[in-house]
Amino acid sequence: MNSNNDLNSNPMKDINQYWKQLTPEEISKNYHREFVGGLWDQLGKLQFNFLQSQGLLPEHKFIDIGCGALRGGIFFIRYLDRGNYYGLDINASLIDAGKIEIQKENLVEKDPTFLISDKFKISDFEMKFDFALAQSVFTHLFSNHIQRCLVEISKVLSPNGKFFATFFEAPHPGYIDTIHQIPGNTITNFDSDPFHYSFKEMQTLGNYAGLSVSYIGEWGHPRNQKMVCFTLK
């Protein structure tokens, strides 16, 4: 397993507590599984089944943005050919936990590669990707951080590549009231974590990054996160 770092500053630190580094003891007790939102098996399988339905094949290069402790990553690593899984996250301790999950599943020989970065420096992998996923990432980000992610992903998508991302949906741009997301009972906000955005706002951010955006919407997420797909123009 390969990994490298790009963690000189932390623009997410003021948004949420995701930057908190877990201790080895916490990881040994599987605390990381709850730390990333729980629903470990359910959401892991959901991510994988969805990407497979969209055409993901073992020979494809795949980047898991916000890979965390590999709730979904384990399924992708098991399925993809050796060396085709790449994971990026801001939290080094979660990647450490993910590597333990890989060992438990006897998947070390699949040789996944990891990057610790708070700037979405996906180009540091020096790889073009056929598929990319950000599951429950944009839901925790201000729009300027989403913009950075989209600009960075636009540099690394293959010509026919697809970047899927989930978001909490608002009815129109600039929707400042809270929204009670059903199912899941999550309260989302205009200007604090967890965030909601309209599809139009997703389109605008994508356009600024040179990406086309299509609406997928419902995909079975238990907390009502919707899905969009970004592609190169």
Q: How crowded is residue 36: how many other Cβ atoms within 10 Å of its Cβ? A: 24
Tens digits of residue pLDDT in 54-103: 999 999 999 999 998 898 999 999 999 999 999 999 999 999 999 999 99
Span of 6-20, 64-78, 102-116, 215-229 with lowest mean pLDDT: 6-20
- The predicted structure's pLDDT at residue 192: 95
Tens digits of residue pLDDT in 149-207: 999 999 999 999 999 999 999 999 999 999 999 999 999 999 999 999 999 999 999 99
Q: Say if residue 165 is exposed, middle or buried (CB neighbours under 10 Å; 0-12, 13-18, 19+).
A: buried
Which domains, and CATH codes, for the chain?
A: 2-232 (3.40.50.150)
Residue of 220 and 41 predicted with greater confidence: 220
pTM for the complete prediction? 0.90
Tens digits of residue pLDDT in 70-83: 989 999 999 999 99
- The predicted structure's pLDDT at residue 41: 75
Q: How crowded is residue 73: how many other Cβ atoms within 10 Å of its Cβ? A: 28
63, 125 Cβ separation under 8 angstroms: yes
